[in-house]
Amino acid sequence: MENLTNEALEAPGYFKNFPALNCIDLSSPDIHNSVSLLKQACLDSGFFYVINHGISQEFMDEVFNQSKSFFDLPVSEKMKVLRNKKHRGYTPLFNELLDPVNQIHDILPGWRETMEKYHREALEVAKAISRIIALALNLEVDFFDRQEMLGKPIANLRLLHYEGRVSDPMKGIYGAGAHSDFGLITLLATDDVFGLQICKDKDAKPQKWEFVAPLKGAFIVNLGDMLERWSNCIFRSTLHRVVGNGQERYSIAYFVEPNHDCLVECLPPCQSQENPPKFPPIKCETYMLQRYKETHAVLESYEK
């Protein structure tokens, strides 16, 4: 792992070390350029920016304000929506709130309306991105629009608050440890505080970590493990983590996966006699339950 000390985190210029990610403009009429940029990003790191996505900055500010209002509540109020067996609710250990649409509208005025609207609008952005992904994989543009895929998707919203601690990777202390997302795609909105890092080559020794710069008005989008599997590892899901330098930080992650009845099997354009399917077909629900079980077994061990 990178030798990242507290002094290095706090040093001027440290947070300037970041790669130039491709930027996809959803309002651009040049679809061929968008497909080319996205394909390059998916082959390289599985991370890219999306701009002009149709969600106004004023509304994004409102979502962040509502998030901050929740995390500013007394602990006793937040504990009323403690994470349940379905893994929804507030997790004090990681200071996050998962799937918050219908949980705290009695506490914060306007909460439900704001979060439901965000769900709707973020899903439309995800669908627009999925159409460019389809073209980049040499599929029909509406491949992911089918009912068993994003026609009836599973989408989770996670509000995150990093309290301003300083990370110390040498001691295993992070805002969020290294992981890859295991769904289809993730849309991440952030404030202007640096913290997100990616590792393009997870097998490298030592691993090289680079910061992803916040970009005002943009989503940072990354591919999940399911899409990597679907594409026969042609497109990449990438390790990422969050480190802090003492500044408080907020982010909003929107995780998108197909309907649970969807069969995830190697896409025809992604296989050949020289490159046969690397994974057997699997039902989306089965795959996601396996991954949730693995992840939350680790989470529960931390909470004991």
pLDDT class of 2 with cuts at 50, 70, 90: very low
Q: Measured between alpha carbons, how far apart are the two ends of the chain, in Å?
A: 27
Give the C-alpha distances (Å, rounded to integers) separating 245 from 15, 67, 146, 194.
Answer: 9, 21, 44, 9
CATH class of 6-303: mainly beta
Mean pLDDT of the chain: 85
Q: Higher model confidence: residue 79 or residue 221?
A: 221
SS3 of residue 26 by DSSP: coil
Q: Where are the domains of the chain?
A: 6-303
Letter for the amino acid at 203? Answer: D
In degrees to the nearest 10, what's the CA dihedral of 260, 148, 96, 165?
110
Give the C-alpha distances (Å, rounded to integers) separating 286 from 166, 230, 262, 264, 283.
Answer: 38, 15, 10, 10, 5
Contacts of range 67-70, beta carbons closer than 8 Å, 24 or more positions apart: 67/97, 67/159, 67/161, 67/250, 67/252, 68/161, 68/250, 69/108, 70/97, 70/100, 70/104, 70/107, 70/108, 70/111, 70/159
Report field, pTM of the whole predicted structure over 0.85 = yes
d(CA 201, CA 195): 19
pLDDT in tens, 156-202: 999 999 988 887 777 777 778 888 998 999 999 999 999 999 998 88
Q: How high is the pLDDT of residue 41?
A: 96
Q: How high is the pLDDT of residue 17?
A: 53
pLDDT in tens, 255-275: 999 999 999 999 999 999 999
SS3 of residue 158 by DSSP: strand
- Going by DSSP bridges, is the β-strand pair 47-51/23-25 parallel, antiparallel, or unpaired? parallel
pLDDT class of 204 with cuts at 50, 70, 90: confident
Q: Is a pLDDT exceeding 50 seen at residue 15?
A: no
